[in-house]
Amino acid sequence: MGMARSSIAPSFSACLAAWLASGAVAAAQVAVVTRAPEDRDVAAQLGQLLDAKVRERSGADERSISVLMQEAAAWPEPYVVVIDRPDDAIHVLRPRDRTMVSRVLAAEVMLHSQYAVALASAELLEWLGVLPAARGRPSAGQTAARTGGVDAPLVPSDTSGPPPPRVGWGLGGDLELATSPGFDVSLARASISGEVQLGRRRGPSWFAFGARVAAPASWERQLEAGALGGIAAEVERIMYSDVVTGLHAALGYGAGRATILGQIEGGLSFVRVEALAQDDARVGDHDDVAGWLGLGLGLRYPLVWGLSVAAAVQGRWLADRTRYRVDGAKVLEEGPVQVVSRIGLIWESALFRRSP
């Protein structure tokens, strides 16, 4: 970084002289979107490098560049610096013509050298022509290449369209509780899920499509002696068990670090009900395959290395699962609606940042 600092210092002196002579420092020309405490340090360092006023503007972590570009068009500052720490990148926006230049730095530099981040931001600003003397001279990207920099030459980007989708995937495990309000059955089980994600981290909204398999779960009901008549009088307890599989589609929306999800899910339940006598002899049984459809809301909050806490609640409508009888006597009744709640962990590839 010592070489990059010495190479740009002479050019800044000439540029600043022209800028000061034109009176351009009377008002802030540059805004820095501050999302972290380190970003404020970058803004202060950048102000010293430019010898000009730099305005700090707070910004949500998950705000996309295209949304920020539209919002910044109403700001008085013609240039906006965005420090994208999750992707180890710096973006400089010129909202008036929807132009953006970017640079990727090493993760260690982004973390430990805020001066280097400010210097790279200044070079991007110089490339865009914030300083008059930058016009007609080699770009900052070419200067960095001559002085041993590792970054590729800069290319302006038009962000008028939506950001390109990014395909990622997630794998999660949950503890699931399913109850049938006002009726008998209540089940607790583990479940695993996998999903493909479209647009995760590319904007506030994203989509997911996936599948879930729940482990076998059982529920037992003890009957009072003599509660049933006929052959059913021999029944002492009822054993209910099922295995659930399903497909789901979800729409996620980032709110700060947290993500809220709306989900639709459907699948099949493989049900078995057994009526057992005192000596565990089977008095009667019932096997069924039933469909179900569910709507739910979820919340995910990232922890580290792509791992997030995931919680959800879902209402399910069950088809053809109501009463179970032995010898004509009802031994179990299940309602048409289930409430399912889950809590667990999910690993999402789009949130996992590899060190360079």
List beta partners, residue 212.
193, 246
135 band by pLDDT with thresholds 50, 70 and 90:
very low
Please state, for a pLDDT cut of 70, what percent of the chain lies above it: 72
At 231 the pLDDT is: 54
pLDDT digits (tens, 9 = 90+) for 93-118: 888 888 888 888 887 788 778 888 88
Secondary structure class of 25 (helix, strand, coil): helix
Distance (Å, whole) CA 342 – CA 356? 36
Tokens of 216: 């076998």
The region of weakest confidence among 19-28, 124-133, 179-188, 272-281 is 19-28
In this predicted model, which residue has the larger pLDDT, 193 or 66?
193
Per-residue pLDDT band at 209 (split at 50, 70, 90): very high
Residue 210: predicted pLDDT:
96
Range scoring the smallest mean pLDDT among 1-5, 120-124, 177-181, 182-186: 1-5
* Average confidence (pLDDT) over 147-152: 38
pTM confidence score: 0.54
Q: Is the pLDDT of residue 12 over 90?
A: no
Q: Where are the domains of the chain?
A: 2-158, 167-351
Distance CA 188, CA 84 (A): 42
Span 334-355, average pLDDT? 84
Mean pLDDT, the chain, as a whole number?
A: 76
| pLDDT number for residue 171 | 96
CA distance 29 to 55: 8
Q: What is the dihedral of CA 342, 346, 348, 353, to 10 degrees?
A: 140
Amino acid at 239: M
Alpha carbons 256 and 121: distance in angstroms, whole number: 24
Provide the pLDDT confidence category of residue 229 given band limits of 50, 70 and 90. low
Which of the given ranges, 18-32, 226-240, 294-308, 341-355, has the highest pLDDT on average? 294-308
Q: Residue 200's closest CA among 261, 263, 157?
A: 261
Q: Which of 31-35, 263-267, 316-320, 328-332 has the lowest mean pLDDT?
A: 328-332
Burial of 225 by CB count in 10 Å (0-12 exposed, 13-18 middle, 19+ buried)? exposed
**15 backbone φψ class: left, alpha, beta (φ>0; ψ -120 to 50):** alpha
Rounded percentage of the chain residues whose pLDDT exceeds 90: 22
106 in Cβ contact with 356 (< 8 Å): yes
Rounded to an integer, the average pLDDT of 324-333 is: 69
Q: How many CB atoms lie within 10 A of CB 316?
A: 22
pLDDT higher than 80, residue 2: no
Whether the per-residue pLDDT at 310 is higher than 90: the answer is yes
CATH number of 167-351: 2.40.160.20
